[in-house]
C-alpha cells in the first residue's frame, strides 16, 4: 500500500500537521487512537470522514516508520 497517497500537509490545515487527505484528522490522532486500543471500525465510527483504507494507510505508515528505525542485527560469520 502506498500510504503517502492518503496523506497531505498544508500550513492552512491543522497547523501544517500531516492529515488524511480530504479531512482535518491528523495521522497523530489516528495513531493515538490505535495506541489506546481502538479498532479500525471504532476509529471510522468516531471520525466519519475516514474510511477503513485511510486508517490502514496510517497503520502501514507506522509499520514502515518502525522498520526504518529498527537496528539491523549483525549477520553471524560462517564458522
- At 1, the pLDDT band (50, 70, 90 cuts) reads confident
- At 71, the pLDDT band (50, 70, 90 cuts) reads low
Residue 53: what are its φ and ψ, rounded to 5°?
A: -65, -35
Residue-range domain boundaries for the chain: 3-67
Q: Has domain 3-67 been given CATH number 1.10.10.10?
A: yes
Distances (CA, A) of 58 to 14, 65, 73: 17, 10, 27
DSSP per position, 51-73: -HHHHHHHHHHHHHHHHHHSPPP
Among residues 29, 37, 36, the alpha carbon closest in space to that of 58 is found at 29
Contact by Cβ (8 Å): 55, 1: no
Give 28-62 pLDDT, tens digit per residue. 999 999 999 999 999 999 999 999 999 999 999 99
| 67's grid cell | 522498520
Amino acid at each position: 500500500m502506498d500510504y503517502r497517497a492518503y496523506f497531505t500537509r498544508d500550513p492552512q490545515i491543522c497547523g501544517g500537521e500531516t492529515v488524511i487527505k480530504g479531512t482535518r484528522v491528523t495521522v497523530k490522532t489516528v495513531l493515538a487512537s490505535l495506541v489506546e486500543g481502538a479498532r479500525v471500525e471504532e476509529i471510522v465510527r468516531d471520525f466519519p470522514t475516514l474510511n477503513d483504507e485511510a486508517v490502514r494507510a496510517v497503520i502501514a505508515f507506522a509499520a514502515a516508520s518502525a522498520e526504518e528505525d529498527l537496528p539491523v542485527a549483525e549477520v553471524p560469520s560462517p564458522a
